[in-house]
Structures are given as C-alpha cells and as structure tokens.
Structure 1
C-alpha cells in the first residue's frame, strides 16, 4: 500500500523539479574608460542543460562592439536519463495501482503477475540508483559551469584589471537540489518494495511449505497448529487408551493367578469314584 501511494508522488516530484527548471545568471561590466558602464548581461539556461549552446553577448571596452560567448559543458544525457526514469516509473506505478485495486485475483493467478512485478521492481531500483547518482554528479558540474566567477573569466573585458565586473544575480539551486533528493528517496522506496513484492511470488511461498531446522535441532513446521480443544481431546484419548491397556493387563494377571476349579458336584463325583474303586460285589440268596 505504501508503494501504491508514494511511488507516483515521488516520481512526479523527481522529474518535474528537474525537467521544468529555468535558471538565470546576471553579471555587470563597468569599463575603465567610462564609455560603457553598468552593462548588465543576462544568461539564461534551462533543461536539458546543454550549456555549450547557451550564448550571450559581452561588451569589449576597447571598442564599441560586443563579443558572443558560450558556456561550457553538456549535461543533457544525465538530466534526460533521470527524467525518463522518473516518467516511466510514474507510469508503471499507476499501472500497478490499477492492477492491485481492480485485478487482484488475476494478479495472483498462476504466479505470473508477482514474478513480473518483482523483476520490474528490481530493474527500476537499479535504474533509480544509477540515474540519481549521475544526476547528482551532473548537478555539481552545472553549478561549477554557471558559477559567476567562472562565467566572468570567459568575458575578455573582465580579464583586464582596470575594468570592473560583478555578478548581480545568481541561479537558484533549491529546485534542482530537491530533484536530486527525490531521486534518492525513490531509490529507497523501490529497493524497500522489493521484499514486499518477493513475498507475493511463488519462490517465497514454496520455501514456506517445507519445515526448517532450528538451532536446537528440532524441526519447525509452518503448517496449521492444532487448537487447544483438539489437543485436549487427543490427550484424553491417549489417557483412555492407557487406562484400557492397564485394566486389560490387570485382568489378565488376575485370571492367570486364580486356580482352575470345577463347578460340578464334587460329592457325587467322589461317591462314584469310591464305588468304582471297591472290589467285586457278592450277592447271597437266603433260603
């Protein structure tokens, strides 16, 4: 959500403050012979900072004529690269916002959307880093090339000690400094978003399916854990099984220790045995 809100805003601030810049440098030349005094020279420059094409007219104190001078340096490549990265980052941020809000199900389907988003986020992170560093270096060189002391050395009349040259107005650098700051803010924002995009990919989810071994040597599983009620029922079942096994063991032990008895009629059994063990019976008939 942070990426959806801040990425387009910071991208606009970065390329707008750089692409819409307009600078003005004003110097004044006073000749020693008083022929030409208080001559103000306005030097305008702007994006894309092709300073070698910026020209201005400076007076020659020896004669009533002017010379045409040019500034030094071409910093258009770094400035345009920075602006292009900002514009494309802004467009991609808007597209990602639309996908996140209205096409969330299609985005997460078959893992293609998160993988594309992860790769593009890494590319923009690298591009923001390179373009911001290049633009910061180019901005430092632009400040040097438009330094009033450096510009006055280009004017022939100012190299003569009898003439007096001063800078009455210098360019304001706050806007370009802000653009460089926003460039590095975008670097932090896009690099920090890599982790959140990676969590949506199948690579991260596949790694979460397998248990990992902790420092104590036990395996830790990331699956669903049983609830308290399930644990109570499981322990209750195990306790019932133990009680049943114990009672079965006691019953078998008691049945093993009891003597085997016969529940018939022992008296009749003994008489029959006595009768069977006696000798032959003699019957006497009395007359």
Structure 2
C-alpha cells in the first residue's frame, strides 16, 4: 500500500522538477571609456542542458562590434536518463496499482505476478540509484559551467582590467536540488519495496512453509509415539480382563516374587515334631501256665537249675 501511494507521487516530483527547469543569468559590463554603459549580457538555459548549444551575444567596449559566445558542456544524457526513469517508474506504479486492486487473483496465480514484480522492482531500484548519482554529478557540473563569474570570464570586455563586470542575476538551483533529493527518495522507496515484493514470491513462501511443516510433522510423530507407548501399558485390551499399568504390574510382580521366596523358605526348613509314646498304666495281665492262655504281658522264661 505504501508503494502504491507514494511511488507515483515521488516519481512525478522527480521528473517534473528536472524536466521543466529553466535558468537565467545576467552579467553587467561597465566599460572604462564611458562611451558604452549599462551593457548587460543575458544567458538562458534549461532542460535538457545542452550547454554547448546555448549562445549569447555581447558588445565589445572597443568599437561598436559584438561577439557571439557559447557555453561549454553537454549534460543531456544524465538529465534525460533521470527523467526517463521517473516517467517509466510512474507508469509502472500506476499499472501495479491497477493490478493490485482489480487483478489480485491473476497476480498471485502461479507466482508469475510476484516474480515479475520482484524483478522489475530490483531493476527500478538499480536504475534509480544510477540515474540519481549521475544526475547529481551532472548538476554539479552545470552549476560550475553556468556560474556567472565563469561566464564573465568568457567576455573579452570583462577580461580587460580597466573594465568592470558585475553579476546582476544568478540562476536559481532550488528546483534542481529538489529533483536530486526526490531521486534518492525514490531509491530508498524502491529498495525498501524489494522486501515486501519478495514476501509475495514463492521463494519466501517456500522458505517459511516447509520448515514449519517439517516441525509440525515431527511433533505429531512424537505425539503418536508417546500415545502408543502409553496405550501399550495403560490401555486395557478387549476381552482380556482388567489390566494394570506398568508400575502396578511391576509392583505386583515384586510382591509375588517375595511370596514365592518366603514359601520356598518355609518348605525347605525341616519339620521336627516330638511325640511322647503312650504308656498303658493298667495292671498287667497274668497268664496261667496251666491254662496256657494268651498273656497280655511280657513273658518271662526262667531256667531252673
């Protein structure tokens, strides 16, 4: 939006202040013999600053003859190049404004519009910089060549020491100085617009989209792996009865192992039991030897001598 608003305005200001310039200078000559007084030399110049074609006529103090003089220098290439860049930048800004407003979908289709816009913006930034620098150098040379003191030295009457020459009017350079300023403002504007146009191209979108997608895919894969690990230990299976978490299973396994160890230790110890023989305290049965019946007590045999 900033490019759409300010680019045409500054482009117009740049080529208008340079292309429509007209300068005027005047030198007054006072001859020493007082025969000719108030001799003034007027010099007019302007765009495209072909100073070698600018000529002026002046009177000579000695006699009634005149001479024709020319300025020196041709600065039209720099001036015309600067104006041409401003005109084309203005036209392209208007075209870009129409495309941005009415043909936004076609502009973004297949990234052709942003790519062309990016290339053109880089080209205009470069030519604005070159033209502004060339025009600034050319303006400095124009000021030197049209300096009234320098023009006065071209007059034969002013080269004589007995005559007196004075500058009565100097060219106004504020307009051309402003054109140079607008030229470098356009450089800053177009160079700054490179970043905003670059964001619309596929290069910027590619650099921003794919790393984000890779990071999101990585995060989703980590989340799936974490959910899988948790579900493998904590989620119950269908028809397999209640399941315990990993910590519960480990705790139960430790308890079962402890119970088995205690059980084995209890089975391994010898069981010693002491039982007292039962004694019968009743009276012993005595067997009659004659009857030879069964005897309930022990039999004692005595050998008779």
Same fold (TM over 0.5): yes
- Residue correspondence of structure 1 range 105-120 to structure 2 within 5 A: 105-120=105-120
Deviating above 2 A after TM superposition, structure 1's stretches of 4 or more consecutive aligned residues are 209-212, 219-223, 234-246, 248-254, 256-259
1:36 maps to 36
Tell me, yes or no, if structure 1 residue 75 matches structure 2 residue 75. yes
Shift of 1:239: 6.9
Look up the match of 1:247: 244
After superposition, the Cα gap between the structure-2 partners of 1:154 and 1:248, relative to the gap in structure 1 and judged at 3 Å, is closer
Please tell me whether residue 205 in structure 1 is matched to residue 205 in structure 2: yes
Q: Distance in 1 between matches of 2:39 and 2:176?
A: 29
In 1, Cα distance between equivalents of 2:113 and 2:20: 35
Contact 2:28/2:38, CA 8 A, preserved across alignment = yes
- The CA deviation at 1:211 is 2.2
Structure 2: gaps spanning 5 or more residues: 237-242, 261-305
Contact preservation (8 Å) 2:233, 2:245: no
**1:221 CA drift (Å):** 3.2
Provide the TM-score with structure 2 as the length reference. Answer: 0.74
Q: Shift in Å at residue 39 of structure 1?
A: 1.3
RMSD: 2.9
Whole-angstrom distance in 1 between the partners of 2:51 and 2:27: 17
Q: Which runs of 5+ in 1 are unaligned?
A: 213-218, 260-287
- CA apart distance, 1:222: 7.3
The correspondence of residues 1-287 of structure 1 with structure 2, limited to 5 A, is: 1-211=1-211, 221=215, 243-244=234-235, 247=244, 250=248, 253=252, 257=256
Distance 1:251 1:58, change over 3 A: closer
Count of matched residue pairs: 246
Secondary structure class of the residue paired with 1:37: coil
C-alpha spacing 1:222/1:160, structure 2 compared with 1 (3 Å): farther
Q: Report SS of the residue matched to 1:221.
A: helix
What is the Cα deviation at residue 6 of structure 1?
Answer: 0.5
Secondary structure of the corresponding residue to residue 210 of structure 1: helix
Once the two structures are TM-superposed, the CA of residue 59 in structure 1 deviates from its matched residue by 1.0
* Structure exhibiting the larger radius of gyration computed from Cα positions: 2
1:240-275: CA deviation from partner (whole Å, max 9, x where unpaired): 776447725547958x9599xxxxxxxxxxxxxxxx
The separation in 2 between residues aligned to 1:242 and 1:13, in whole angstroms, is 76
In 1: Cα distance, 2:164 partner to 2:158 partner: 7
